Amino acid sequence: MIACHADHIGSLLRPSELISAREDAASGRISRARFKAIEDRAVEDAIRLQESVGLPVVTDGEQRRLSFQSQFAESVSGLGDWDLNAFLWGNWRGDSSTVGDRTIERPAGLGVVEKLRRRRHLSVEEFVFLRARTTRIPKITLPSPSLWANFWSPQRSRAAYPTLENFLADVVDILREEVVELVRLGATYIQLDAPHYALLLDPATCSFYESQGWSTERYLERGIEMDNAVIGDFPGVTFGLHLCRGNQGGRWLASGGYERVARTVFRRARAQRFLLEYDDARSGSFEPLKEVPEDKWVVLGLITTKRPHLEPMDELVSRIREASRFVPLERLAVSPQCGFSNSVMGNAITPAGQERKLRLVVETARRVWGEDTALLPDIA
């Protein structure tokens, strides 16, 4: 099992050059070869940033993705027409003094229309490129399969998939095949992103999933069963499960503690590391962590990516000590609450602010657990 006390969720801010290049490639203004060179350079810069602050776990910053889950949609056929709003829709809430609220409507025509067919691997390119360029622990993120319930429509999808269960079974198979290939190539840390579980705390989200034909309780239970089918049993491979309440442009979708989902998620999921949003009062108390089994780790997402404000280290250390009332200190770690750029839009934070936040993760881990357990070099 991966046993490091400093971690991060995955995505990093996209450089403006990469965002422009993606648009230019889509419109034919630059070649695919030119775009891939710019994309590769963005990944290399993301790797260097993480290594420079001392993180023991390194991702590719999700620089190749439109959103944290878009690589699935880009890798399969059958999902019909979709755009970025397929992953962003919802009633987003934000601080009134900064970003404010924003509503993005669910695209009217969204829905799987044909049997899914995998056209290419989802994340193999990401992993192979990352593995070749770092000596740290390379982490790959994949979407939790039941997150794709969003793409099944009672009106549009029944000809291809009569039920939501039929559709998600194929999603599970594709993700499971991806994990098998990643493990074959040497992956040792794979994270499933599952923000939809914490979003079940929101009544509007519950209403949507119930309109798809499943009760909230069934959705949570079957979702974890599907996660477990993807995770399988791979000796020497650590799986993480990340939960948050939405994270886009400094906004969020839901509020509330983990009490409603804790027993099912923490006790039934086969993941070894739970990466949990805990950056403000919206996340509730640490008490639900009492449901975490003795062989699991909890990565406390105490450092926010939504705002540039840098958390005082003494406050972070105090909160880690508080959480250790429910999970022993040796099985805790610290990270940001979520990614810095869950889509190409990114959060309201500068690259310099992002670096300070990542550095704070590392320095906090050193303060609490010491250099030997955090696998951290000295930081100037």
Tally Cβ neighbours within 10 Å of residue 102. 15
68-119: per-residue pLDDT in tens?
999 999 999 999 999 988 888 888 888 877 888 898 898 888 999 999 999 9
Alpha helices (H) in 185-248, listed in sequence order: 195-199, 203-211, 216-231
Return the pLDDT at 371.
60
Rounded CA gap, 82 and 306, in Å?
26
**Encoded tokens for 71:** 């690589």
Neighbours of 344 (CB within 10 A): 19
b/e 198-232 (16+ beta carbons within 10 angstroms → b): bbbbbeebbebbeebebebeebbebbbebbbbbbe
The pLDDT confidence band at residue 206, using thresholds 50, 70 and 90, is confident
Measured CA distances, 223 to 29, 142, 332 (Å): 42, 14, 25
DSSP percent split of the chain into helix, strand, coil, nearest 5: 45, 15, 40
pLDDT value at residue 203: 76
What are the structural domains of the chain?
A: 16-374 (3.20.20.210)
Given this model, what pLDDT does residue 242 score?
97
